[in-house]
Amino acid sequence: MRQLFTLPRGLRWAPVAALALGACSPKATSVVTTPAPSSAAPAVAAAPTPPPAGPAFEIPVEYYTLPNGLKVVLSPDHTAPTATVAAYYGVGFRTEPRNRTGFAHLFEHLMFQGSQNLGKNEFIGLIQKNGGALNGSTRFDFTNYFEVVPAHKLETILWAEADRMRGLAITQTNLTNQQGVVKNEVRVNVLNQPYGGFPWIDMPMKANKNWNNAHNFYGDMSDLDAANLADTKSFFKTYYAPNNAVLAVVGDFDPAEAKAWVQKYYAAIPSAPQPPKPDIAEPRQEQEQRFSKDDKLATKPALAFGYHMPERNTPEYYAMIMLDQILLQGNDSRLYQALVQKRGYTDNVSGGINYLGNQFNYNGPMLWMGDLVFDPAVQADSVVRVLDREIDRLARTGIDQPTLDLALVKIRSAFYDQVSGSDNFGRADLLAAFALFDNDPSRINRLEGEFRKVTPELMQKTIREYLRPTNRTIITVNPLAKS
């Protein structure tokens, strides 16, 4: 993916920095809320009193659909004189055709190669010369493109993004060039890196059974070579149609003016018939799975664990996000305290829900994952025993209300930080995802209420069903390089 612009990292609520499938590492920890303790003694976090559930900050949301099927979300924010445009297309790794692994990612590269009125690299130059920044990424269930520009350039960027949707410059020269670029990404960022693809590529391939969720989404070299011009044109016509897209506009603009520009530049783009959505369901996992891989470039062993998540938007889903906060997020988390502070097995443990995005911008089976590189003197089974011990302790003793309150404070802190950021991408991402997957971007204003419904009893139910060892996959890395 294009690594043109880097967003702040370390907050799993917002997307990691445009993923870039290797151009930047997707291994960002979810929420960093507590500074590292100044000594080796375990830090004891006092559970703060959660704020009352009174009037909350309301994000303005205007949502409508053009006759051609394009979903449009407008959210004014006059804090800073900038505007963010985000185009989300409902095609990602899970949708790409068989025998064309990596095609969704390959096609994302092609979107920067020119369009009807903009030549090769002119789109990038247009944004940068006007003081803006941009990027694109491919995820499990969508491909997105976004631009952040001075507010007075909003119309220009809406026109430019519409020009790509209307007609991409699809040529054999561009295709051949970008096939080489993507293959080089695989070599540089995965094949020739220690822990390359671990665990963000490895875990979905091992933990899942459905091909749509389990294939190598970076793309096999032979499949990338096999992509032809006819495939590319068909892919664009089908999946980059307005009736498979969301356009989110956030920032310092007048809604009436923005609506007029959207009508002017997007309304005439024709829609296209959409193929049936693939069946991406995963069977219930009944036995623990364990795998290992040799890494000729790694100098220390590593371990990753993955548990299948509850179905999105269920009560257990929100409880699992709370459990992620308690077990894995921040230096006050149970696993950080147990593995780093108490035993010194590692200097860090990271992870979260959806390594290629955040807890909300996906629409299918997902994994709660964690990973760490650990001391060679430590056995992998010792790490697993600590994981089991911390989960069992929660299951035995329960989770009291003060612990839930602390998790909610951390979630709220991350949320408000993201939706009020100066670049507004965190807000645009949630609005676009909720429009694309739920036809309801106003969900952004109801999230806190869903977390407040989580009870200690629901947490226990979720632990028993989703954090059982038989719902788990473990991958270990055997280091073959000399330290």
Distance between first and last Cα of the chain: 31
Sign, CA dihedral 31-280-468-202, equals negative
Q: What is the DSSP string of 379-395?
A: -HHHHHHHHHHHHHHHH
Does residue 35 have a pLDDT over 80? no
pLDDT for 49 equals 55
The model's pLDDT over 278-300, given as tens digits with 9 standing for 90+, comes to 999 999 999 999 999 999 999 99
Alpha helices, DSSP H only, in 295-440? 315-327, 334-336, 380-397, 401-419, 425-438
Backbone angles phi, psi at 114, to 5 degrees: 125, 160
The model's pLDDT over 177-187, given as tens digits with 9 standing for 90+, comes to 999 999 998 89
Grouping H, G, I as helix, E, B as strand and the rest as coil, residue 353 is strand
Does residue 6 have a pLDDT over 70? no
Specify the pairing of strand 289-295 against strand 302-308.
Answer: unpaired
The model's pLDDT over 309-355, given as tens digits with 9 standing for 90+, comes to 999 999 999 999 999 999 999 999 999 999 999 999 999 999 999 99
Alpha helices, DSSP H only, in 190-273? 202-207, 211-214, 221-226, 229-239, 255-266
Report the alpha-carbon distance of residue 382 to residue 38 in Å, rounded.
26
Q: In the structure encoding, which two tokens stand for residue 55, read together?
A: 């009037």
